[in-house]
Structure 1
Amino acid sequence: MSLSFQDKLLSGTEHYAIFVDDNATDEEAKKVISVLVESSPCIIPQLIEVISKLSLKGNRAIRCFWCLDYALNNLKSNNILLGNSKLYSLCYYQLCCWVKKNGTLNKNNWVKNRLNRLRLYDLESTGSNSGKAYQKPKVAVIVTGQLRGEGDSLPSVRDFLEGTNYSIFFNVWDKYGFRAPAANALSLNHLRRLFDDSFVDLLQEYQVDFETYNGTFGVTDFLQSKKAESADLKSYFSGQEVQVHVEPEEGFEKRFDALLNRLSSFHADEGGFAKPSNMLKMLYMNYLSLEQIKKSVESFDYILRVRPDFIINPHHNCCELIQNVNLDDVVITDEWHGEISDQFALSSKKNMITYLELFSFLEKAEAPLLDITNLSKPHKRLTDYFIFNELRVLPIDDLRKGFDLSLKLSIEKHQEVIRKSEQYKQHKAPESMKQFIERYLSL
């Protein structure tokens, strides 16, 4: 590439030319962008604004994204943008709008993945607390969301908190999360999420059709009717202060219809778990938790928010994280496919109050703040909110051991459901499963 061409770029008169020059190689483009951003970081918003008007398609669109991606990553790696997160957020907001307009996302998943990943802060050093005199940390533990079967997740939270002074604040929906069996396509692994292994093993041994069995005894009806109970949740944290609020889920969409319509105008309903209503439910529960702890928040040093189905890896400990990470400076989150996860967050109470206020922020925000990006599923709006509020993030990729995917029926409760059924009392169970039933009830 000639120096005169590079000089023209540096002058700002044709800084978009590299994206439309078919003769320029990727390396040449990379060099020009490198010189541009090092000489003037503030040129990036102008650069994005100019190229967004070019309606680039295909390979030129990919090159445009790739060069701007390189520029922003270069700025971040040199810590140029760490002191100006709102400029960083603005750059990505513009870039997201451009990618959406040009349809680049649909054809190239790596564009979405790279974009989301680069928005995280890479923290090599966080300013350890290890030099401070140790005091037993006081932690407010906020558990919010839909219960899905907390048999493994809540004990993992309890073990994670060993060595701290903590209080638990539950805000959960009244209905349990339940993944219903799919007709004619039920895998054994799915059944093991709902029932004990001995039941599934006996189904195989006696070759009993689950749909016929379920039609006779209605065991999934029992699971679907399960409601959140305060006593059940408190039993996992004996001896600790535990507050439980159970929120009715029915009528939520109607209650927040106006806000959901605003969100839906920016985020298409992708179905499944990617619905704006699900995202808003999560944030609303966080908001309720903040209201719940307001009177006592000053008595805590840190706040942990965790989803009720999140199983914490046993080799992590809350005290160790607090000792090794300056939580006045960062928010620790779980990492999910290179992105910030919405399932776990630990930080100082000041940072976490901001975290928990996202629902209130969305209630008041207008475009463009409301529409920061729709390149990822609605839950990932949290990333943009962190950047907007200049909250530094430390994602840890092995915090999560797994999830409690569904409410699970214990052997004792399962046997009780069978014995109380009219079909069992009146000996009306099909002949093909009588031996199976008697064997299971004898366990």
Structure 2
Amino acid sequence: MAFALNPHDESAQQSAALLFFNTHYNGDPMALPSTDTSRLDNTLAVIRTLRDQGSVARIDLGALNGISSATVTSISAELLQQGLICERPPETPRPTGRGRPKTLIELDPNAACVVCIKLSINEIQLVVGDFSGQVRHSEHHTVPTLTLSADDLEALLEEKISAVCAQQLKGFQRLAGICLAVQGVVSSQSGSIIWSPALSFRNAPISARLAERFHCSVLLENDANCIASVLAAQPAYADCPNLVVIMLGYGIGMSVLINGVPYLGATGSAAEFGHSKYQPDGALCACGRRGCIEAYASDYALYREAVRHLALFNSDTAYPSEQQMQALTQMALQGDPLAQGIYAKAGRALGHGIANVLALFNPDLVLITGSGVRGFEAMQAAMHSAIDEALVTELIGTTRIESCAWDRDMTCMGGIALALHATDAQTLLDSQTAREA
């Protein structure tokens, strides 16, 4: 079955898998499906624990998930038969010589795979992730994205995904899903790109055509939500269920997790922090409106302001390179007063926006990351000053505001994780159906 689905709502595929599980495990294949989801839930919990933890002994799986040993044994036997897990050799015998060493089980990485496509300005990155969540292949393509029509983009994605599938997926049992991670505003529910700075068109449905072409689930996700999913899973932030992740870069994105669940809004385009207003009738934003926070604190805004005052290479101020941004940042960090003023102005805009976030959501943590975090040191004094000016102390509360180094691009890693999580139930259904065929 192929779906264009919301990565944060597994109900469609879990319902299908639940019907299958109930008719096979309730004893009477003709019985009406039970509303008890415990069997499917426990099976998915085992799969996801193995993905998070790696190799784990059966007895430890039970303790980690609150499942009885008998249930874990039964589930692992089924998953072994379906080819979704495999056994590792027993651990080294215990020094005392007493007791049998534990046999570890782990996900079979070749049981399924997903493809994540990151779409950004003039570049497309394709990454293949295996069933254990690890990257198995990555490639970049320079593409003039702003010249593409919606049909051109669909045709290009079909071409690139087909090539990756032909060249890289031969060892996998199935393609479980595709995730398209996009800069800008997307609707996960409808599978449509609403607006992206990488594209010249708007309101284009895209997921359904790809799902039909590749016969698998297709997720459309904002890149900031992909990044937030990776960060939220890190142990360092385990005590922050109410988490706000702000991504600085060419544009500015945000993801809001409330009690660990992403807040998407009515159409999936919530938390567009970069396009909330800082100054009415202010600087021009890439979205076409004026006064957005992005128009002051994004890479293109910083460089646009810089070329007005500094002797900088300015052949393409709308799309500054990483080298250009690094050079500008170094000028500010090394004490150039004009560069420092530009980053202070950006910091004030960022701070006022964060103040609104604190007042509205009262998060445990605001985490600032993305390639633009290179300039955070030059922004943060003005940012904190703006927050203090905007809010009474009680509204700032105990919320922490921290930066997270951008030493690797977490977008595709998040896309892989979201796609696997959303398609695990369908993978279970497909593997069981294949075994019984």
Range into which the TM-score falls when normalised by the shorter chain: under 0.3
> When you count helix as a share of all residues, which structure comes out higher?
1
State the structure with more CA Rg: 1
Where relative contact order (Cα < 8 A, 6+ residues apart) is larger, the structure is 1
TM-score where L is the length of structure 2: 0.19
